[in-house]
Chains A and B, each alone.
Chain A
Amino acid sequence: MTVEQEIGRPRRRKEDARLLTGRTRWTDNLSRAGMLHVMFLRSPMAHARITRVDVSGARELPGVVAAFSGQDFAAEQGSLPCAWPVSEDIVIPDHPPMAVSEVRYVGEAVACVVATDRYRAADALEAIDVEYDPLPAVLDMTEALMDGSPKVHEAGNRAFHVKIESGDVKAAFRDAPVVIDRTYVQQRLIPSAMEPRAVLADTDGDSFTMWSATQIPHILRVMLAVVTGIPEHKIRVIAPDVGGGFGSKLQVTAEEVLCLLLARKLGRPVKWTESRSEGNLTVHHGRDQIQHIRLAADADGRLRGLQVDLLADMGAYLMLVTPGIPMLGASMFNGIYKMDAYEFGCTGVFTTKMPTDAYRGAGRPEATFAIERVMDELAAELRMDPVEVRRRNWIRHDEFPYTTISGLTYDSGNYEAATDRALALFGYDKLRAEQADRRDRGDPVQLGIGVSTYTEMCGLAPSRMLGEARYAAGGWEHASVRMLPTGKVEVVTGTSPHGQGHVTAWSQIVADALGVPFEDVTVLHGDTAIAHKGMDTYGSRSLAVGAIAVVKACDKVREKARKLAAHLLECSPDDLEFEGGAFQVRGTDQRRTIQELAYASFTAHDVPDGVEARLDSDATFDPENYSFPHGTHLCAAEVDTETGMVRIRSYVAVDDVGTVVNPLIVEGQVHGGIAQGIAQALFEEAVYDAEGNLLTTTMADYLLPSAADLPDFQLDRTESPATSNPLGVKGVGETGTIASTPAVVNAVVDALRPRGIHDIQMPCTPERVWRSLEGERR
């Protein structure tokens, strides 16, 4: 019997039917008998001492069950965790879930109300009286580091400083014929997952269950235990349907801790659902770096050395992996290029703003932006084609595996193939001709072409490397595969999908590994009582780490089944070949299907002595290396020089994500990633005013692109399998976001370069483009 291979098939998703018909399980959809609703009162001040909180007015209102201030939690609330102390000298300030004596950003919770419904809770918030003694806001990173600057925390505004050096940087820059020196600003972003956060906590008096819109039920469980002192085995965390995360739900939040404590205080289930405007203030933000970049090269464009000096805005506190985000980019500034020397420095800075943390790509988009932007600047300086200058410096496909100047070993890739394919699809030469023509004619609408040849490190992560980087946990992943008596398969994964389609993809992988029909596989996830072990979903790790654990567990199932089959067929295990879901004695028609063996292990009537009567297996996989997807993205942008408006005319992406399990899902990830990267380039920016008030609290002010604001994207792939895992997969969740931002900004700058413009700060709003042009006209 031949079965069509599942890996590589564009399977439609098993997840869809419920989501399409409204039979969803978002946290906010859930209800428990006697459930109460929580709302938080939030600081309107960026920085202030709290001199008085009076919640008595709220307590008197109808429907209000309780109201608390930070003081009421002070003895039990602990401090929100930071799991990534990136340096010896790092300052990790106390971070109370509810502010007790001082607030350090607008939106920090200062009190809460618990009521019978959310309408009454909202009313009661207005009856709480808080008095503040204002302290100076600290908003600008450079000023924050100056002597005499007001302090966010007693210990000062410098959170940490890290420096890494590889090769002889001085020699690389000494007498270099070309040195490009640039400063780029990675603006602050608001992740904006479509589902706002929500938490429901319940207790039976002794143990606790929390449903949360989280990417990390497993990590959350551990951290809730650590923060609150409730024993870990008394806490169960469930991530039901989760509506997107993009890193924003990779967090242990104040609201999660406080809801747990409220359930304990009140002995009743409590639910909190944030509003969007509350979320814009208090879901951790992303990016926010000032990048000083120096690149030294020879006259022929060959790279000599790269110096990177970052200021990274931590915001007011260090949250789960806040300081680790810029460090995730530390080894990526060199991109796909060979060079002699590299230096990386990063200073983490406290400001009185919402803390930053993971946002799609987390450190790698920032790094990729800097190197891909500065490569274009080098090309311009040398009057070379930007593709050519990259070609002269990238790692050739016959040089893999290649250890880069920053110390990572890229296992596989083919930059030539991806770039050649992208150039052909894009019609590069034709567009260059049109660009020249428009320049000659002085067309008010100029055409720009942007290139981005990126790589990234994902598949987070080899535990040993995480240990070396001072991260508090490992990077392994766990899976169990259970053979049910009727031959169906139940897979339990430690990953926690929130839109990625793990149920479908893992089913395909298991169908191939065990020779069972795709339809016969179910995948369970996101509940610590069901998936007892897991490291959850972020950093494009689920396929490259989590699915490999599934493969390893399937291997064990097969080996157990082989022994049982050999026993039943009275042959040596070595005489059996496994194909199409059955073990067959070589050269005979004697066979047992995996389903028959599952049933035989269930009845256990005839199991060899000393062999456990179960095929079920589990496995923990710890990758030996990161994986390194790469690709070439090309953007053609029209820039209206009269208004400054940028319109993307065409966009081509050729990505190499290794083996593709489900091309539909891969394309979907790339599409969404590109859109988010474009949004950073053109639309999105979290803006604080001079007093530290966030101005972009709603979607009317923080602009997310709709279908009408984006073009179609043309995709293709090359396939260089990863060598670090048996499937050859690399991960795809963040590639689009990493690649597209510099491609777009390079296109905008390329359009305007003849007018003397060599940078436009993101987002490239019409006004910024126009001001750049005005500056040059003057």
Chain B
Amino acid sequence: MPRITVTVDGIAYEEDVEPRLLLVHLLREKLGKTGTPVGCDTSNCGACTVMLDGASVKSCSVLAVQADGCDVVTIEGLGVNGSMHPMQRAFHEEHALQCGYCTPGMVMAAIDLLRDDPEPSEEAIRQGLEGNLCRCTGYCNIVKAVRRGAQEMGRTVSAP
């Protein structure tokens, strides 16, 4: 079995993995990082979205061996010192989650789309989240939350 090294949420791991092991199963079943859920088998739903070397990926469609040497950030690694990331807070404030199953992926996708467009329009947010499905919210409050999260992240960045 190939041996890989991977950093997940700031912790370095060395694991022997079957080549066919999906990254999401490495996270959930080998590393105990169950914060990232699985919602489909065709990379449509986006529930399993994580950051791989700083860019969003669907961890059900990446092999663990492909993440060898990479840095992974999951929903569990977003907060700093026990406080939530501004995007997580924004989702809370705007009631942008109901059952919460799509939420980890949705939050990661939201943070990712702001890398290109820190002040996105409603249209840009909706397009930017096209790869993440939610069955509860009708997306209205998710769009609001992303806008709010963007504002707060902008503030964090520009604060002295």
Binding site for B on A (CB under 8 A): 10, 12-13, 15-24, 26, 28-29, 117, 119, 192-196, 241-244, 246, 275-277, 498-501, 664-665, 667-676, 698-700, 704, 706-708, 710, 712-713, 736
- Cβ contacts under 8 Å, A710 to chain B: 126, 138-139
- Cβ contacts under 8 Å, B36 to chain A: 22
Q: Are A668 and B137 in contact (CB under 8 A)?
A: yes
B49 to chain A, nearest CB (A): 12
Q: Is B114 an interface residue (CB 8 A)?
A: no
Looking across the interface, which residue of chain B has its beta carbon closest to that of A664? Answer: B95
Q: Are B34 and A22 in contact (CB under 8 A)?
A: yes
Q: Are A20 and B97 in contact (CB under 8 A)?
A: yes
- Cβ contacts under 8 Å, B33 to chain A: 22
Assembly CA distance A22 to B47 (angstroms): 12
Q: Is B39 an interface residue (CB 8 A)?
A: yes
Assembly CA distance A710 to B37 (angstroms): 25
Going nearest first, the 4 A-B pairs with the smallest beta carbon separation are: A22-B35, A19-B100, A499-B99, A243-B101
Q: Is B130 an interface residue (CB 8 A)?
A: yes
Q: Are B130 and A671 in contact (CB under 8 A)?
A: no
Q: From A10, A275, A499, give the contact of B100 (CB < 8 A).
A: A499
A484 to chain B, nearest CB (A): 26
Assembly CA distance A676 to B136 (angstroms): 8
Q: Is B107 an interface residue (CB 8 A)?
A: yes
Q: Are A20 and B44 in contact (CB under 8 A)?
A: no
22 A-B pairs (CB sep. < 8 Å)? A16-B91, A16-B100, A20-B100, A22-B34, A24-B37, A24-B100, A26-B101, A29-B34, A195-B37, A244-B99, A244-B136, A276-B40, A499-B136, A667-B95, A671-B137, A671-B138, A671-B139, A671-B140, A676-B135, A707-B126, A708-B130, A713-B140
Q: Are A21 and B75 in contact (CB under 8 A)?
A: yes
Assembly CA distance A700 to B46 (angstroms): 12
Decide: A501 near B98, CB < 8 A? Known: A20-B107, A26-B34, A698-B42. Answer: yes
Decide: A707 near B34, CB < 8 A? Known: A21-B75, A194-B47, A672-B136. Answer: no
Looking across the interface, which residue of chain A has its beta carbon closest to that of B139? Answer: A707
Assembly CA distance A499 to B98 (angstroms): 4
Q: From A23, A29, A500, A707, give the contact of B98 (CB < 8 A).
A: A500
Q: Are B95 and A668 in contact (CB under 8 A)?
A: yes
Decide: A706 near B39, CB < 8 A? Known: A20-B100, A194-B47. Answer: no
Within B46-87, the residues touching A (CB, 8 Å) are 47, 74-76, 78-79, 84
Q: Are A708 and B127 in contact (CB under 8 A)?
A: yes
A716 to chain B, nearest CB (A): 14
- Cβ contacts under 8 Å, B111 to chain A: none
- 1/0 per position for B98-128, CB-CB distance to A under 8 A? 1111111001000000000000001001110
- 1/0 per position for B143-156, CB-CB distance to A under 8 A? 10000000000000
Q: Are A708 and B126 in contact (CB under 8 A)?
A: yes
Looking across the interface, which residue of chain A has its beta carbon closest to that of B140? Answer: A671
Q: Are B130 and A707 in contact (CB under 8 A)?
A: yes
Looking across the interface, which residue of chain A has its beta carbon closest to that of B75? Answer: A22
Assembly CA distance A215 to B138 (angstroms): 21
Q: Are B130 and A672 in contact (CB under 8 A)?
A: no
Q: Are B74 and A22 in contact (CB under 8 A)?
A: yes
Decide: A13 near B84, CB < 8 A? Known: A243-B99, A276-B45. Answer: no
Q: A671-B138, A672-B135 are in contact. List 15 more A-B contacts (CB 8 A).
A: A16-B92, A19-B99, A21-B75, A22-B74, A242-B99, A243-B101, A276-B41, A498-B99, A664-B95, A671-B139, A699-B45, A700-B42, A706-B126, A706-B133, A706-B139
Q: Are B47 and A699 in contact (CB under 8 A)?
A: no
- Cβ contacts under 8 Å, A22 to chain B: 33-36, 74-76, 104
Q: Is B129 an interface residue (CB 8 A)?
A: yes
Q: Are A20 and B92 in contact (CB under 8 A)?
A: yes
Q: Are B76 and A194 in contact (CB under 8 A)?
A: no
Interface centre among A10, A19, A708, by most B CB within 10 Å? A19
A325 to chain B, nearest CB (A): 20
A162 to chain B, nearest CB (A): 32
Looking across the interface, which residue of chain A has its beta carbon closest to that of B22? Answer: A119
Q: Are B74 and A672 in contact (CB under 8 A)?
A: no
Q: Are A698 and B44 in contact (CB under 8 A)?
A: yes
Looking across the interface, which residue of chain B has its beta carbon closest to that of A122? Answer: B20
Q: From B21, B79, B138, give the contact of A713 (CB < 8 A).
A: B138
Decide: A194 near B134, CB < 8 A? Known: A12-B92, A21-B79, A244-B101. Answer: yes
- Cβ contacts under 8 Å, B16 to chain A: none
B2 to chain A, nearest CB (A): 15
Decide: A699 near B44, CB < 8 A? Known: A196-B39, A707-B125. Answer: yes
A709 to chain B, nearest CB (A): 8
